[in-house]
Amino acid sequence: MKIMIIGASRGLGRAFVEGLCSAGDTVIGVSRRRPNDLMLPDTIALDWIEADFGDPLKAAQQIEQQSPPEFDVLIYNLGVWEETAFSDAYNFLDDTDASIVEMVNINIVGAILLLKRLIPRLLNSAQPRLILTGSTSGLRQSGRPEVTFGASKFALTGIGDALRESFRKDGLGVTCLQLGYLNTEDSLSVPLTEAARRGGGEFVPVHDVVTVVRALLDLSGASYVRELVLPAIQDERF
């Protein structure tokens, strides 16, 4: 299996790089800079593409030029949020116009431009899979006030819905992961029991997300998971 991961250098993306593949697989990471301390066995091939979605068109073109002609799984795990998001200091009216435009360009425009270029290569696979990392903030009545971030994650779900219908006849399985607050401080090298204790049940360990995605990739070509909501067990919004 050959997997491409957009937004792969740290946090959940890095966990995908280090945790999804088996012996003989290839993983292609995409980020602004390639990390130099990834933990992967020699039996897994690793390639990297450096691209900055601060300029979404340039990034999409760079990735297109350096991507292989065929791969089996594309995980789009990119997204930025407001500087004071998820804190009591957040106030929509304080967001600058420039920051709003930048978030929309990275989170929405960049996604559309890149997917337009990569889906033809994904469809060369016998069992193509597209996984979009959304957020519970993008769900209706999410209980979160962050306007631009919530709107961009809501848009990502819409992108997934449209792509699913556009390429259903080609067998493209499109899954939207709606993830709650994540514990990205503890990497896969930290034992799951320890990572699960951080935050007293208010954060989802990246280990759990990797486990879920690995299960999605083990499905046959006859089925797929349309949407999966994965909040922390103490998240009172859900």
212: pLDDT strictly greater than 90: yes
| DSSP secondary structure, 44-99, as one string | SEEEEEE--TTSHHHHHHHHHHHS-S--SEEEE------TTTTSTT--GGGS-HHH
pTM of the model: 0.94
Q: List the one residue out of 151, 129, 128 whose CA is nearest residue 138.
A: 151
What is residue 99's predicted lDDT score, i.e. its pLDDT?
96
For the chain, the domains span 2-230
**Chain segment 83-141, per-residue pLDDT in tens:** 999 999 999 999 999 999 999 999 999 999 999 999 999 999 999 999 999 999 999 99
Confidence of residue 201 (pLDDT cuts 50, 70, 90): confident
Mean pLDDT score, 148-176: 96
Mean pLDDT score, 173-182: 97
- Is the torsion defined by CA of 79, 82, 88, 92 positive or negative? negative
Distance between start and end Cα atoms, the chain:
35
CATH of the domain spanning 2-230, picked from 3.90.226.10, 3.40.50.720, 3.40.50.300, 1.10.150.20: 3.40.50.720
Mean pLDDT over all residues of the chain? 95
